[in-house]
Amino acid sequence: MRPDAERVAWHAQDAGAMPLEGLGAPLHDGEVRIVCAPVASAATLPSAWLDAGEQQRWHAYRFAADRQRHHAAHALKRWVIGAVLGASPQRLAFAADARGKPRLVDAALHFNLSHSGAWVSLALRRDAEVGVDVEQAREPAIPLPWPAIRHPEEPDLTDSASFLKAWTLKEAVSKCCGQGLALDFSRLRLEQTQRSIDCYDDARRHWHAWHARLDASTHLALASDAAWRRLRWWRLSPAGEPRWAECQTVWAAPR
């Protein structure tokens, strides 16, 4: 499909002509939603949705690939949040909190964005903070700085897949609490549980986390500072006409 035709399809979907697969339903307390889209697809969303600050940062990037990822991330953010809130994407207002973490001006819900390589991801929750991270493996492989992220009580693993899983989980936690890379990852301890992954720091702060693979080389992680009752994620098809290739409920509390 030509880029101009894709823009028409995306805009029609925003108007309700293309099924949102439950993505636009009201977001309830205890529910987390994750939306993942190929950068090339999300970048066909209208650039007119971005506000002046987003547009300025978009044009400031030197490389076209960085501009495309920025456009994709912020347009996807506006499209999905607008659908959930029943609001026009371009009318949503965002600001940064005291920690520098982006937020909705009216604080109607919490969200977090991440992009890496060919993917962009968005996490949403109404009643608690969330953080999301997506990381695509780089080739050729670089030496893995395990000592910089490994807690003393964690196993000493050396393969790249284990490193990226741990990195994305801990970065999702750091984004959830608003500290970003200022947080010392070696002070975060991961513990696998039946339905999620617990993460603790030396001060016994506690986060709930989850990990998946978007493709063979891309890791996705979510973190929240409160347990969820329902976690759902959507993945957009990477080729052809924009469509939801996958929508699944990862975990739901028993009724």
The predicted structure's pLDDT at residue 74: 96
94-96 and 119-125 as β-strands: parallel, antiparallel, unpaired? unpaired
**Whole-angstrom Cα distance, residue 65 to residue 69?**
6
% of the chain surpassing 90 pLDDT: 60
Tell me which of 7 and 25 has the higher pLDDT. Answer: 25
Interaxial angle between packed helices 64-85 and 3-14, expressed in degrees from 0 to 180 and rounded to the nearest 10 = 20
pLDDT score of 156 more than 90 = no
pLDDT score of 157 more than 70 = yes
pLDDT in tens, 20-52: 567 778 899 999 999 999 999 888 889 999 999
pLDDT in tens, 138-150: 776 667 788 889 9
* Band of pLDDT at residue 253, cut at 50, 70 and 90: low
* Domains of the chain as residue ranges with CATH: 3-16+30-252 (3.90.470.20)
Q: Among 228, 221, 175, which Cα is nearest to 29's?
A: 228
pLDDT score of 169 more than 90 = yes
The predicted structure's pLDDT at residue 103: 93
pLDDT score of 18 more than 60 = no
